[in-house]
Structure 1
Amino acid sequence: PFVKKAAYYPALKNNRKTPGELYRITPGGGLEMLANTKTDLMAAYLELLGIDLPTALISLSPDAFSHALALGDSISDTLTVTHLGAIGSNEITFSITEEPPVDWLSLAPVSDTLGGGESVPVALRFHTAGLDTGIYLTTLKVSSSDSVAPEIYLPVTLEVYGVPSIAVAADTLNFGGVMVGEQGQ
């Protein structure tokens, strides 16, 4: 006869089990779930039934962008979009938008289709033309056909700083009397 015995031990919730330790067959032919957390209990059921939870097939690197530039400067960076699926698996399409849209960042390409195991570099160009000094923020929203991760958000920060402007009119500067080699007490 099949007997199921499941236990949840809240006092041991910090002692997570590893797969394979989540259930055992008892000497009498029963099934005992050995879970210390609710997560372990669900994992034990899924492992017993042979169900693997789906994982995201789209990967983005890096997961954030931050640059500090002087007024008038620009810099390029790259976002790599990767399809983590096996070669021959279903294609994933993606598109990238800025939320909110900004004039100081440009992207190319903004959409593409990837087969399993493929990656594509997305060129990002940060430029400060027409900006004042300060901190500017936007978010890249990557929408894809990946059912596990249909939307991924990447924070983008641009800090614009001013460059001092120094003008000297005289060909010669007079600093007055300057003491050389003396030390004060």
Structure 2
Amino acid sequence: MALRVTPGMMNLQMMRNINTNLVRMDGNMNVLSTGMKLNKPSDDPVGITYSLRYRSELSFNDQYQKNADTALSWLEYTDTVIGQVNEISQRANELIVQAVNGTNPQEALNAVNTELNQIYEQLVSLGNSKFNDKHIFNGQLTDQAPYDETLAPTQVTDTHGITYKFTEGASLTINVTGQDVFGEPT
């Protein structure tokens, strides 16, 4: 059976095609103007789920990078403080060796005693060192100073570690305790 194509049908089909092209062009212009292929969930429901997952992973990666930067800074600062503790301890050792020599007059022993007291104060000060307003040698109790000048030899610091996560399944404890650096209390 033959089908008769009328001018009205041709006009209607042409208008549908123009409208379809206009809607497609509007979508393409929207993509070009926003720079994003997915502007609303109905644009591509499957693509939205991938997009959300990728954004979440990027957010995690940003956090992991911040953790790595903070941990590195913390460790570098701790290394610097421990280096200073080592230098001061060596000087204290030199003074003690000098003092036990039986040929020193009382004035020399008094001078050694004075310098050892100053070294003690410096060590207590280093034991209370802070990085970003957090005490580095008091475990997880970073808001509390680990040592008091009069009680330092008998004080115990918190032994819990501060752990930073760098990737899924990879973390690292970044702090050392006062006992690790200065020894067990007497």
The interval holding the TM-score normalised by the smaller chain is under 0.3
Say which structure is richer in strand.
Answer: 1
**Structure having greater relative contact order (Cα 8 Å, sep ≥ 6):** 1
TM-score by length of 1: 0.23
TM-score by length of 2: 0.23
Say which structure is richer in helix.
Answer: 2
